[in-house]
Amino acid sequence: MLVAVDLVVLTVRNDRLLILTIDRGVDPFRGQAALPGGFVRPDEDLLDAAERELSEETGLSELRVHLEQLATYGHPDRDPRRVISIAHLALVPDAADPTAGGDAAAARWTAVGDLLDDPGRLAFDHHRILSDGVERARAKLEYSPLATAFCSEAFTIGELRQVYEAVWDTEIDPRNFHRKVSKTPGFVVETGATTTRQGGRPAKLYRRGPAELLHPPMLRP
């Protein structure tokens, strides 16, 4: 049985949640859009394989990418070659555009909303994997500080709020959000600096705090 890893790579740009897709350069599904991924090497750990494929097929190899295992898909009919795939979820800050490589003919950011609305656009069972990955990301923003993975090293609370709004596709009251984030222990810590890059009154800059879990969690409306 063949073993592969696939990647759901998400970022937030201009208040929209984007996912990285490639155009397949090989059969099956040659030419069709798909998630980046590839086979696991015999002496490779799964997470290492995911990291390698991310770097090979998309050129993204930042230090600041959050990578975790998502789920494994093994239905006998999901791939004519009988491949089981361990899908991974990657969250990256809004950074440079990807560059195709490996078995990928092209690599680009696509709006998640558009892909979710069109189940036939992605090859294999990748629509299902995408949908599971987005749901995982939405859920994790509730009880973990992972939203910071979409931000640059230092960020304002307003920028963090825009991440939540993009991923959850909702509007959040800026005042209540500010209160909640600053009162949740360990979520963010002040850097001391301020910025005006959002316009308006200068905002304090924060970086991610030490907390791994948020108590109490952020609540999706």
- Contact residues for DNA, defined by CB under 7 A: 156-159, 173-176, 178-180, 182-183, 194, 196, 198-204, 216, 219, 221
List the one residue from 14, 27, 63, 75 that touches a second copy (CB under 8 A). 75
Assigned token pair, 53: 């494929």
Helix/strand/coil (H/E/C) assignment for every residue in 98-125: CCCCCCEEEEEEEEHHHHHCCCCCECCC
Bridge partners for 85 per DSSP: 4, 73
Q: Which of a second copy, DNA, none does residue 46 bind (CB under 5 to 8 Å by kind)?
A: a second copy
Is 82 near a second copy (CB under 8 A)? yes
Residues within window 1-20 making contact with a second copy, judged by CB under 8 A: 1-3
Give the nearer residue to a second copy in terms of CB position, either 74 or 202.
Answer: 74
Is 170 near a second copy (CB under 8 A)? no
Assigned token pair, 172: 């959040």
List the one residue from 7, 10, 86, 151 that touches a second copy (CB under 8 A). 86
CA distance 95 to 2: 33
SS3 call for 148 = helix
Q: Which of a second copy, DNA, none does residue 45 bind (CB under 5 to 8 Å by kind)?
A: a second copy
Contact 169, 221 (CB under 8 A): no
Is 84 near a second copy (CB under 8 A)? yes
